[in-house]
């Protein structure tokens, strides 16, 4: 559970961040967002992903959510084993507040690094470069 919940969050954001929900594919505001800047945790404001690591995924089952190849800094997120759907996945949590962000998939073909952070738009804020 998060250290503290931001009181300005919507019901959808609370459900995803604290009940480990998932938004519908292609429904989030940052799926096709291509501005330069920093994606942050919508709950606590921690820096999570740079726009330079964002890419458009076409991988079946992973397309439709913001996709990133790497975190902004090595201690931005916490990774946790997740077998909640009967399949092994790696959950991505904000290291600062513990909120659920999405999942990490490795060995994917839609990015040269093979790394794919599949993150819910509802979990993100955005600060444009100046």
The hierarchical CATH code for the domain 11-128 is: 2.170.150.20
| Of 41, 44, 94, 118, catalytic | 118
pLDDT of the residue at 1: 47
What tens-digit pLDDT sequence spans the chain (130 residues)? Answer: 456 889 999 999 999 999 999 999 999 999 999 999 999 999 999 999 999 999 999 888 889 999 999 999 999 999 999 888 777 889 999 999 999 999 999 888 888 888 999 999 999 999 999 8
Q: Assess whether 118 carries a catalytic annotation.
A: yes
By C-alpha distance, which of 122, 125, 130, 129 is closest to 21? Answer: 122
Reported pTM: 0.92
* Of the candidates 15, 117, 14, the residue with the CA atom closest to the CA atom of residue 65: 117
Euclidean distance between CA atoms 121 and 40, whole angstroms: 10
Domain boundaries, the chain: 11-128
């Amino acid at each position: 559970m998060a250290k503290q919940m931001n009181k300005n969050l919507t019901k959808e954001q609370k459900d995803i961040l604290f009940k480990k929900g998932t938004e519908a594919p292609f429904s989030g505001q940052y799926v096709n967002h291509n501005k330069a800047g920093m994606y942050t945790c919508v709950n606590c404001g921690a820096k999570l992903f740079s726009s330079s690591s964002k890419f458009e995924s076409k991988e079946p089952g992973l397309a439709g959510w913001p996709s990133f190849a790497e975190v902004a800094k090595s201690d931005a997120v916490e990774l946790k084993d997740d077998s909640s759907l009967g399949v092994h996945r790696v959950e991505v949590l904000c290291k600062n507040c513990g909120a659920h962000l999405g999942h990490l998939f490795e060995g994917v073909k839609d990015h040269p690094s093979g790394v794919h952070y599949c993150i819910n738009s509802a979990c993100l804020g955005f600060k444009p470069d100046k």
